[in-house]
Amino acid sequence: MTIGHYKIDKSSPVFIIAELSANHNGSLDIAIETIRAAKRAGADAIKLQTYTADTLTLNVRNDDFKISGGTLWDDRYLYDLYKEAYTPWEWHQALFDVAKEEGLICFSSPFDKTAVDFLENLDVPAYKIASFEITDIPLIEYVASKGKPMIISTGIAELEDIHLALDACRRMGNSDIALLKCTSSYPAPVNEANMIMVKDLAERFGAVAGLSDHTMGSTVPIVATVLGAKIIEKHFILNHDIGGPDAEFSMDEVEFTEMVNAVRDAEKAIGTVDYKLTPKQKKGRDFARSLYVAEDIEEGEVFTEKNVRSVRPGFGLHPKYFREILDQPSPRTYKKGDRLLNHNLLNH
């Protein structure tokens, strides 16, 4: 998978996305500065959401359209929340331009066909399907038909939902798909992160796997990286004082920078399967054990567990030969602290 200039595969660095979402609080200036801050924090991409209240829901005041269930937004109507949170479409060109100036990849989550058509005119390099839209098969088909890389969050998905979404993409000739493990709670508790799913998504579906994270802190992104995530998405806010619907589970510049650094360190720590030692590691073998003379030994005197020992440092004969030389006569005189080096000892 390649998004913009960024190639995403098993050997690539994690693709780190800063999610703008509603963290502009209705100000274009804040949105622009947030993009610049995301670049400073080490993000590879900035992601928008392209919808209006009317493209997401109905302006209806009954219990079906009232949020409940212990969320941050309980007792609010869907229409009111989305009207507050949306990113005005007339901002998009400016935001894309700023991202380009900063060297960030910019793309979006569309929530209906009109949003897809609008984003196509901006030449987006990829599309994100939000967790709650994974069941909208007609939308997924339409997005997939554009032939761009698809990133699909699985926050509310059962196994069948993932299969249906993938089938929808492939029916449209699009197999350029990444699947993100997501816990659709805001904020999400760490004990529900279930990061082992990152590995399973990659293996079960043969797709690029990653994480769309709503937990607090960097622990879950680090674990995801270790388990093979190649994409990490995190909500980003310029300053928590801005407030807004998503502020509580978003990272500011300092927090996001710390996360990026931790993910990059985790990548370095993973390394590769290689049993060869580096020069520094080889030097460390100086402190391994080897065979040394523990008491003065006369020529002809037999080697015993008392006069020969396996000790540090590692400049003497390998300890694997210890049993072979026991009870053998010494070919010469040794002083305490001499190395046993002569492999002829084994044939004496």
| Tens-place pLDDT, residues 159-207 | 999 999 999 999 999 999 999 999 877 788 899 999 999 999 999 999 9
Q: Which of 11-20, 167-176, 242-251, 297-306 has the lowest mean pLDDT?
A: 242-251
- Which residue, 270, 292, 315, sits at the end of a domain? 270
Q: Three-state SS for 48?
A: strand
In this predicted structure, the answer to whether residue 343 has a pLDDT above a threshold of 60 is no
160 domain residue, yes or no: yes
Instruction: Specify the amino acid at residue 48.
Output: L
Is there a contact between 24 and 36 (Cβ–Cβ < 8 Å)?
no
Residue 347: per-residue pLDDT: 58
Tell me: do 146 and 242 sit in the same domain.
yes
Residue 348: per-residue pLDDT: 53
Instruction: Specify the amino acid at residue 163.
Output: H
Residue 273 binned pLDDT confidence (cut-offs 50, 70, 90): confident
| Sequence-distant (≥ 6) Cβ neighbours of residue 29 within 8 angstroms | none
The position carrying tokens 């390099």 is: 125
Q: Which residues of 252-289 are buried (b: 16+ CB within 10 A; e: fewer)?
A: bbebbbebbebbeebeeeeeeeeeeeeeeeeeeeeeee
Alpha helices per DSSP H over the chain? 28-40, 53-56, 78-85, 92-102, 113-121, 137-144, 159-171, 196-205, 219-226, 253-270, 279-284, 322-325
5 domain residue, yes or no: no
We report the CATH number of the domain holding residue 145 as 3.20.20.70
Is there a contact between 316 and 292 (Cβ–Cβ < 8 Å)?
yes
Angle at 310 between CA 309 and CA 315, to 5 degrees: 115
Is there a contact between 14 and 229 (Cβ–Cβ < 8 Å)?
yes
Q: How far apart are CA 51 and CA 79, in angstroms?
A: 12
38 domain residue, yes or no: yes
Percent of the chain residues past pLDDT 70, beyond the cut: 98
Tell me: do 243 and 283 sit in the same domain.
no
323 domain residue, yes or no: yes
Mean pLDDT for 292-306 is 96
Mean pLDDT for 280-298 is 94
211 domain residue, yes or no: yes
Tell me: do 324 and 298 sit in the same domain.
yes
Is there a contact between 287 and 332 (Cβ–Cβ < 8 Å)?
no
- Which residue, 251, 270, 289, sits at the end of a domain? 270
Tell me: do 146 and 256 sit in the same domain.
yes
pLDDT tens for 46-96 read 999 999 999 999 999 999 999 887 777 788 999 999 999 999 999 999 999
Residue 130: per-residue pLDDT: 95
- Which residue, 270, 299, 315, sits at the end of a domain? 270
pLDDT tens for 101-123 read 999 999 999 999 999 999 999 99
Residue 272: per-residue pLDDT: 85
Q: pTM of the prediction? A: 0.87
Residue 185: per-residue pLDDT: 74
Q: How far apart are CA 217 and CA 236, in angstroms?
A: 12
Tell me: do 176 and 295 sit in the same domain.
no
> If residue 280 lies in a helix (H) or strand (E), which one and from where to where?
helix 279-284
Mean of per-residue pLDDT scores for the chain: 94
Q: Three-state SS for 255?
A: helix
We report the CATH number of the domain holding residue 299 as 3.90.1210.10
Tell me: do 185 and 313 sit in the same domain.
no
In this predicted structure, the answer to whether residue 303 has a pLDDT above a threshold of 60 is yes
Give 223 or 341, the one with higher predicted confidence.
223
Where in the sequence is the domain holding 231, given as residue range(s)? Answer: 11-51+86-270
Tell me: do 125 and 103 sit in the same domain.
yes
Residue 116: per-residue pLDDT: 98
Smallest CA-to-CA distance from 151 within 91, 226, 232 is with 232
